[in-house]
Amino acid sequence: MRRWSGRWHLLLVPMSAVVMLPFVWLLLSSVMTQAELNRFPPAIWPESIDLGGYRTVVERSNFLRWFVNSIIVSGAIVVAQVVLCSMAGYAFARIRFAGSKLVLILVIATALIPFQLTVIPTFLIFNEAGLTDTLGALIVPQLASAVGIFLMTSFFQSFPKELEEAARIDGCSRVATFYRVVLPVARPALAALAVITFITAWNDLFWPLVAINSEDNYTVQVGLTTFQGQHRADWPAIMAGTVLTTLPVLAVFLFGQRRFVQALTGAVKG
Amino acid sequence: MSATALGATASQHRRQKDRRKLGENIAGWSFAGPATLVILGFSLIPMAWALALSFTDSDLMSPGRNVGLDNYRALLADPVFFQALRNTGLLLVLYIPSSLIAGLLVAVLLNRKVRGIGFYRTCFLVPYVVSATATGLLMGFVFDRDFGLVNGLLAKLGLPLQGLLSSPSQAMLVLTAIFFWTRFGFAVVIYLAAIQEISKEVLDAAAIDGAGAWARFRHIIVPSVRPMTIFLTVWGVIDALQFFDLVMTTTKGGPANATVTIVYYVWQLAFSFSTAGYGAAVAYALFAGTLVLIVAGLLLARRKGVTT
């Protein structure tokens, strides 16, 4: 059993408190009144729970629409990455095909290319295709990722071969082996990939900001940036919008934390 | 006769092997092809295109004329570019060492059979998974000069109020601190995983031999997590160089360009000032600089690794 060693908590409790306090106050300020936040110094603790901020967000902005857009975009990206990256990772780890080593190195090296370098031409590509200002433009460039391929390749490399070999001897084709034998066992790795992909996709601001013009196609993150201008001084509304934007990602993180940490540390060790 | 039969089976064998190889190639490429196409298609093509663009005066909507090296020459005389370089450099110099040191120290603290280690790890990771947009809006208010919580607390304590995000000399430091707050949890998790791999016997043996806590930290833990330190440094450089969302949601580069980072500048040039060609040149200059920095750093790390 773990022993209670109190003195470490004397250090760790204040540290985690400092880290978490801004979020606690975010939650508190989202249920304050405008008067409480607009005076100086602002209130630390709300006198009563006031849902005016949330009402403004839901009733007087397109927030719900942006939220749905974000769910569509992140959902599509997660599904695509889980399918495409696991297939590619399996191929790079297991199938000996011409050019596989070189292509894998090339793919992983692209993780070093900063997005600001490729963003202008990427915008031009979608502009030529007439696809800017659509949700599709947000999904297509993220259908697969170098990090995802790297994660899945290192997972399949560490995965025992015997199972697949038995299936192959029994006459299963490559595709059937992959779907019936390999994928079910790879579920933890797929979950890790899904968690990390969702968080990245949901939080993305730069590309949606560039690719989307009309308010109807905003994601929550882009919509949130417009709050400052539109609800100037309505700080409870801005804080409420921030809380609502953060909830999904926080839920996925808390729910899939073990997988998330595995993905982070696995990516480094692999 | 037997010789031809032997030859026949040999060629049959070879054909079979060729067919199997072909089958593997088809299987491999059809499994890996789609993802590879997306990733290379959205990195190599735009990279080449950006290079071409950097030699033009494109305004984003039209292809523009070829202007040779004019954009790169203009860069050397552009005060905002150098300001952006300085701002980004300040972020790197402060953020990288502080996140490594804090990350390692907290990881060492957490690497005990402490009750609730999972809870602490969660706390340190939450700022990492919350979007920079949300963080920016929250912190924009916390560090606001006129209404913010920080100045509010300073007022209550009777201390002098600070300019914070409205002060040219403090704004970048405040943003760096916020960035540190969102990112050091990542270093904690990576270091913690590495420390947990160090065998307890080695540490115990060192302790029996009289090595104190500091000596064990300095001579066992620090060297064994070196690969993670290198990884975190490279990753941190890439991460910090892409610093954009927080600037966008707090200061928008102000006051007086005090928080314009390179990425923010590229974005402004291409998408609000309509000087995409020049923006591409700035992006390329940064990319080349980063590459040199990372390669030099890795070579240095390897050389040090050989000598020590």
Which residues of chain B are within 8 Å of residue A224 when distances are taken between CB atoms?
A: 133-134, 137, 249
Interface contact flag, B152 A42, Cβ < 8 Å: yes
Question: What is the pLDDT, as a whole number, of residue A34?
Answer: 86
> What parts of chain B have a pLDDT lower than 50?
1, 307-308
Regarding an ipTM greater than 0.90, the answer is: no
Question: CB-based contact (8 Å) between A37 and chain B?
Answer: yes
Question: What's the domain count of chain A?
Answer: 1
Q: Alpha helices of A159-234 — where are they, by DSSP H?
A: 162-169, 174-176, 183-185, 187-203, 206-211, 220-230
Say what the pLDDT of residue B114 is: 65
- pLDDT value, residue B2: 54
Evaluate whether residue A73 is within a structural domain: yes
In a domain, A143, yes or no: yes
- Closest to A217 in 3D by CA, of A109, A83, A10, A66: A66
d(CA B212, CA B294): 35
Res A5: pLDDT: 57
Domain B78-274 has CATH 1.10.3720.10: yes
Spatial contact of A241 and A57, defined as CB atoms under 8 Å apart: yes
Q: Is residue A23 part of a domain?
A: no
From first to last of its 270 residues, chain A has per-residue pLDDT tens of: 344 456 778 888 888 898 999 999 999 999 998 888 888 888 888 888 899 899 998 988 899 999 999 999 999 999 999 999 999 999 999 888 888 999 999 999 898 888 888 999 999 999 999 999 999 999 999 999 999 999 999 889 887 888 888 888 888 888 888 888 888 888 888 999 999 999 999 999 999 999 999 999 999 999 998 887 776 668 899 999 999 999 999 999 999 888 888 888 876 654
Q: How far apart are CA B110 and CA B113, in angstroms?
A: 8
**Structural domain boundaries, residue A74:** 59-269
> Cβ contacts (< 8 Å) between B50 and chain A: which residues?
117-118, 120-121
Quick check: is A263 in a domain? Answer: yes
- Whole-angstrom CA distances from A4 to A133, B113, B115, B117, B200 are 56, 8, 6, 12, 20
**What's this model's pTM, rounded to 2 decimal places?**
0.90
Q: Say if A7 is an interface residue toward chain B (CB within 8 Å).
A: no
pLDDT in tens, B258-270: 999 999 999 999 9
Q: How far from B271 is each of A105, B83, B104, B195, B265, CA to CA, in Å?
A: 33, 20, 40, 45, 10
Q: Indicate which of A120, A224, A245 best probes the interface with B, i.e. most B CBs within 10 Å of its own CB.
A: A120
Do the domain assignments include residue A200? yes
Q: What is the CATH number of the domain that holds A193?
A: 1.10.3720.10
What does the pLDDT look like over B131-169, one tens digit per residue? Answer: 999 999 999 889 988 888 889 889 888 898 898 888 899
Q: How far apart are the CA of A73 and the nearest CA of chain B, in angstroms?
A: 16
Closest residue in A to B141 (Cα–Cα): A235
What confidence score (pLDDT) does residue A2 get?
A: 43
Distance of alpha carbon A163 from alpha carbon A178, whole angstroms: 11
CB B278 within 8 A of CB B272: no
Predicted local confidence at residue A250, as pLDDT: 94
Considering the domain boundaries, does residue A89 fall inside one? Answer: yes
What does the domain layout of chain B look like in residue ranges?
2-42, 78-274
